Amino acid sequence: GESVGLHLPTLSVQEGDNSIINCAYSNSASDYFIWYKQESGKGPQFIIDIRSNMDKRQGQRVTVLLNKTVKHLSLQIAATQPGDSAVYFCAENIAGRGGADGLTFGKGTHLIIQP
């Protein structure tokens, strides 16, 4: 079965609004989670990561929330811009693995920013 999956394939938001992209995972052994952004014709681009000993981590305009109780991960993007339009993937790996080792990716959510 699928260990990591996304609830919504497409999310459309108005420019300037905040967006929330969700992800569910099923592997309790996962302890490292990453959000990637993939623009058309490019490879996945690292956005932000979080380890299971945290429940929130903030970056520039992005926040990742981790709820281990319900095995749920979300990516919040504040004040969306046209350049945020892309497919967003969550990915996980299990304890002891770092970097991009053995990541399990979700299917992706296509974020569309409307003017």
Partner 1 sequence: EPEVTQTPSHQVTQMGQEVILRCVPISNHLYFYWYRQILGQKVEFLVSFYNNEISEKSEIFDDQFSVERPDGSNFTLKIRSTKLEDSAMYFCASWTSGPSYFGPGTRLLVL
59: which 2 tokens? Answer: 């970056």
CA distance 105 to 34: 9
The distance of closest approach from Cβ of residue 58 to partner 1 in the complex, given in angstroms and rounded to an integer, is 16
Instruction: Report in angstroms how near the CB of residue 34 gets to partner 1 at its nearest.
Output: 7
Identify which of residues 98 and 115 has a Cβ nearer to partner 1 in the complex. Answer: 98
CA nearest to 75, candidates 26, 28, 7, 3:
7
Query: Between residue 46 and residue 65, which ones bind partner 1 under the rule CB under 8 A?
Result: 46, 49
Minimum CB distance to partner 1 smaller for 100 or for 112: 100
- Determine the interface stretch with partner 1 among 23-31, 36-44, 66-74, 76-84 (rule: CB under 8 A): 36-44
**Whose CA is closest to 61, among 113, 11, 20?**
20
**Residue 61 Rama label (left phi>0; alpha psi -120 to 50; beta):** left
Taking the C-alpha atoms of residue 89 and residue 17, their distance in angstroms, rounded to an integer, is 20
Rounded least distance, CB 32 to partner 1, Å: 11
Nearer to partner 1, 56 or 107 (CB): 107
Binding site for partner 1 (CB under 8 A): 34, 36, 41-46, 49, 89, 91, 97-108
